[in-house]
Amino acid sequence: MPITPYTGPFGRPELQHLLRRTLFGCTVADRAHFEGMSLAAVVDELLDFTNDTTPPVRTYTDANGDPNGIDPAVPFGQTWVDTPIVPLNDTDIIELRLRSWAAWWMGQLVDQQRNLREKLTLFWHNHMPTQVAIVYQSEAQYQMNQLLRTRCKGNFKQLIHDVTLQPGMLFYLNGYLNVAAAPDENYARELFELFTLGQGSGYTEADVQASARVLTGWTIRYEENDVPVLPSSIFIPANHTTADKAFSSFFNNTVIQGQSGPGAGETELNALLAMILANPECSRFICRELYRFFVHGEISEAAETEVIEPLAELFRDNVDAPDQIAIVLQALFTSDHFFSSTIRGCMVKNPVDLVVGDYRLLGFPTPGTSLPEARHIVNLEQYWLVSYAGMSLLEPPNVAGWPAYYLYPSYDELWLDTATYPQRNNSLLGILYGTVDTPSDTVLPDNANLVFGVDIVAFAQQLSDPANPNTLIQDLVDLFYVNPISATVKQQLKQQYLLFGQVSDIYWTEAYQLYISDPNTTNMTAQLVPDILRWLIGDMQKAAERHLF
C-alpha cells in the first residue's frame, strides 16, 4: 500500500520542521523563500538540483609562506584536483590538499543552496564512508565526495556501482588487493552488511565469499608509464576468478556465470548488484537508513508497517529510475508520518546540523571566491569547530559511520552526553562571540588583516519587530526551538536581558531604536544593544531544547 500523504495544515511550524530536516538549519531567509508555497512545491524545489560545485583551489604555501615552495605543479589560486601529486607519496602536499578539501567541503555546507544536495551528500558519506586516516589520498577522497554529491538523489544501483569502483573505496576496503589467487572479502562483507542488506538479513558466509570472487580483478592505477596520474579504477582480467559463483537460497540460488576478458569485471559486478537489488531486504534496508537519518533513529512497529514497507515498495517499483532516491524521499517528506507531532523535535542534532545551522542562522559571513585565502581560513576554522563539537567529517569513526545512526537503542542521543554537551554549547558561543582574523602576510594583499564575525544587530533586524521585546523574544523562540516555551520563561528572558531588570517594555524599545538610528551614540544604554542581544541569544542557546530538531 502507498504511504499515507500529509493533508494537514502547512504553515510556518510545518515548513520549519521540513527545512530543519532537509537543510542545515533554517534561516529567516530560507523560511521567507518558501513561505506561501505548497508542501509539494517546497519538496520539489528541495529535490531540484545538480552538482554544479566548483572545485577547491590552491591557497596554501610552504612553512615559510612561499607559494612556490610546495606543490609547484599547481599555480596559486588554481584547482589542484586534476593534477597528480609528484612524487605520489609526498605527505606534505597530501596534507595541504586534504585541508583544502576539508575547508572547501565546509564552504559547501555553510553556503549551501536551498536544496537537499549537501544533506544527502553527508547521508551517503555516513552510509558508505571512507576515512582519511586510511585513505590518505587527497584526489581519491575528493573524487569520492563528488561522486556522492553527483549521485545522491539518483539511481541506487548506479550509485553503489560507482562507489564500488571508486579508487578511495577500492583502497579503503582492500578491493584493490582482491585477486583470484587470494580473494579478499573485506568489501564484499561490507557491501552486504552495511551498504545494501544489513547484518542478519539472511545472507550467508558463503554468499560473502562468492561475492568477493565476483569482485576480483579490480585495482587502482596511480601511474602510467611510470608517470603519476590521477587515481582511477582498472580491471585486470588475469586477476579475476572466471569460475561460476553460486549463491544461497536467500538470493534464490542465483548463479552468476563466470566471465573472462576485459569486460568480465563489469558484467559480473552488474549481475551481483542486480541480484542484491532483487532481494526485498535491500529496499527495506536503504529506506530504514534514510528514515534514521531524516526522521528518527528508532523505528517502531507501526513505522515499519506504515512507512518503511510502502517506501521500500516504491524503491523496488522504481529500481531502474534515474531519480529513484528522489522519488522515495519525495514520498517520505510529504507523508503524514513525517509531520506527526511525535516526529517534530524528536532528534538530537548532529554537530553539523548544530554548528553549520548556527553559522547559517546568525549569518556568519563567508568570504567570496574573490578572497580565496580568506575563504580557506574561515572555512577551515569552521571545519575544526564542527570537529570540536563531535563530528570530524573527514574521519568517520569506522566503516559503519557514526554510531548515532545505527547503535540501538540510543541512536541520536549518543551525540549528547556530559562530555559533548559543554563542547557543543561552547561551539555555539564561539559562533556568537568569536571572530576569524586573517594574517597580515597573505600571498594576496587584499586577503590580509580581515575580520569575520556575526553582526548580531543585522541578524536581529531580519526579525519581524526587534524593537518590541515581546515580539523579539517570540521570534527567537520560533527560530531556536521546535516546541514553544512557557510565558514565564519568556518573561524572565525579557526582563533579565532586554528590560535591564525593569518592567516597562519602553526600556528596550528606546535603547534599540536609538542604537539603530545612530550606532555611534553616546547613550550608555543604547551602546549595550549588541551586547544585550548576544547575552540573550547566548542564554537561549544553552537550553537543551536548542539541540533538538
> Quick one: which of 123, 191, 212, 138 has its CA closest to 168?
138
The pLDDT, as a whole number, for residue 501 is 83
- Set of cell numbers at residue 443: 600571498
User: What residue spans define the domains of the chain?
Assistant: 172-278, 351-453, 467-547
CA distances from 48 to 41, 45, 107, 153 (A): 10, 5, 20, 10
- Distance between CA 481 and CA 504 in Å, rounded? 26
Mean pLDDT of 295-319: 98
Percent pLDDT > 90 in the chain is 98
Local confidence band at 317 (pLDDT 50, 70, 90 cut-offs): very high
The pLDDT, as a whole number, for residue 1 is 78
The pLDDT, as a whole number, for residue 163 is 98
The maximal CA–CA distance of the chain, rounded, in angstroms, is 86
Cell 576515512 maps to which residue?
131
- Distance between CA 494 and CA 488 in Å, rounded? 10
- Distance between CA 52 and CA 55 in Å, rounded? 10
Q: What is the pLDDT of residues 217-272, one digit of tens each?
A: 999 999 999 999 999 999 999 999 999 999 999 999 999 999 999 999 999 999 99
- Distance between CA 463 and CA 344 in Å, rounded? 23
Mean pLDDT in the chain? Answer: 97
Element (H, E) at 453: strand 451-453
Q: What is the pLDDT of residues 336-351, one digit of tens each?
A: 999 999 999 999 999 9
The set of residues, in sequence order, having a beta carbon less than 8 Å from that of 172 and lying 6+ positions away, is 130, 131, 134, 135, 399
- Distance between CA 119 and CA 350 in Å, rounded? 12
- Distance between CA 180 and CA 173 in Å, rounded? 17
Q: What is the pLDDT of residues 43-84, one digit of tens each?
A: 999 999 999 999 999 999 999 999 999 999 999 999 999 999
pTM: 0.97
Statement: residue 500 has pLDDT above 90: no
The pLDDT, as a whole number, for residue 153 is 98
- Distance between CA 112 and CA 356 in Å, rounded? 10
Specify which residues 361 forms β-bridges with.
none
Measured in residues, the chain has a length of 549
The pLDDT, as a whole number, for residue 299 is 97
Question: How wide is the angle at C-alpha 36 spanned by C-alphas 32 and 39, nearest 5°?
Answer: 105
Local confidence band at 502 (pLDDT 50, 70, 90 cut-offs): confident
- Set of cell numbers at residue 398: 569506522
Q: How many CA atoms lie within 13 A of 518 on its CB side?
A: 9
Q: How far is CA 167 from the centre of its chain?
A: 21
Cis before 409? omega within 30: yes
Mean pLDDT of 130-142: 97
Q: What is the pLDDT of residues 202-221, one digit of tens each?
A: 999 999 999 999 999 999 99
Q: Within a 10 A sphere around the Cβ of 32, how many other Cβ atoms? A: 10
Statement: residue 307 has pLDDT above 90: yes
How would you class 245 by CB atoms within 10 Å of its CB: exposed for 0-12, middle for 13-18, buried for 19 or more?
A: buried
